[in-house]
Amino acid sequence: MISTFTAFIDANVFFGARLRSLLLFLSQTKMYRARWSERVHAEWMRAVAEKRGISVERLQRTRELMDRAVPDAIVSGYEQLELGIRLSDPADRHVVAAASLTRADVIVTFNLADFPDEVLVPLRLKAIHPDAFLMDLFGISDDLFVEAAKRDYQHYMDPELSFDDYIEGFRNAGVPGTADLLEKLRVVIADEAM
């Protein structure tokens, strides 16, 4: 399955490692095409460094792994489009410009209010909360979703992460519906991963 459904991921979605990881594994299933920009990288890395005390050097390694996991994710050349976008926070204009340039269908963000319909609809864009986005992906293909979640959970085996802690990471990341869904899928994700 190769999808043309494209999602531009806002920096706040990449703040939490657990959510970031699952989105990357899901992108590798080809259920959707993940896109982001260098500015998105800079923003999430700065926030994680400030709030979690993780060095930018260590985060640089994560950034490189993300770009390798989704080789065509970086959107560039959108700067001129920013000038025509009016948002309450001018810092968000680049997200809309880059999403528009890459012909994204959605902007995945926790800050839905920052991306009003009157700006997005004429550009054929929609802002969606990460929890709703993940539920939509499950609806597209529960088999591919489970496979991606299984691979995501397995990559936490060294050092080992309990499935309860895995789920709790999604609650802490602000996607409780996804946490509940994963809990219901525990038997096919955790038990088969062992």
Out of 133, 156, 177, a domain closes at 133
In angstroms, the Cα distances linking 72 to 44, 105, 125, 129 are 19, 16, 20, 23
Total residues found in the chain within this entry: 194
Do 108 and 150 belong to one domain?
no
CB atoms within 10 A of CB 15: 19
- Cα distance between residue 44 and residue 25, in whole Å: 19
Residue 54 lies in a domain: yes
Distance, CA of 86 to CA of 125 (rounded, Å): 15
Task: Please tell me whether residues 34 and 69 are part of one structural domain.
Answer: yes
- 180 and 97 in one domain? no
**Same-domain check for residues 103 and 176:** no
**Is the predicted pLDDT of residue 193 greater than 90, yes or no?**
no
Digit-coded pLDDT (tens) for 146-187 = 999 999 999 887 668 899 999 999 999 999 999 999 999 999
89 and 167 in one domain?
no
Rounded CA-CA distance 49/47 in Å is 5
* Mean of per-residue pLDDT scores for the chain: 93
| Residue range(s) defining the domain that contains residue 21 | 6-133
Look up residue 39 and give its two tokens.
């500015």
The CATH number of the domain holding residue 96 is 3.40.50.1010
The string of DSSP letters for the chain reads -----EEEEPGGGGSSHHHHHHHHHHHHTTSSEEEEEHHHHHHHHHHHHHHH---HHHHHHHHHHHHHHSTT-EE-S-HHHHTT---SSGGGHHHHHHHHHTT-SEEE-S-GGGS-HHHHGGGT-EEE-HHHHHHHHHHH-HHHHHHHHHHHHHTT-SS---HHHHHHHHHHTT-HHHHHHHHHTHIIIIIHH-
Domain presence at residue 124: yes
Per-residue confidence band for 190, with pLDDT thresholds at 50, 70 and 90: confident
pTM value is: 0.94
What is the reported pLDDT for 96? 97
In this structure, the answer to whether residues 58 and 153 fall within a common structural domain is no
Q: Which of 133, 162, 181 is the last residue of a domain?
A: 133
- Same domain for 87 and 20: yes
Q: Which of 133, 159, 184 is the last residue of a domain?
A: 133
If one counts the domains in the chain, the total is: 2
pLDDT of 49 higher than 80: yes
Both tokens assigned to 89: 């926070």
Residues 118 and 181 in one domain: no
Q: What does the angle CA 54 – CA 60 – CA 61 come to, to the nearest 5 degrees?
A: 100
For residues 14 and 110, what is the distance between their CA atoms, to the nearest angstrom? 10
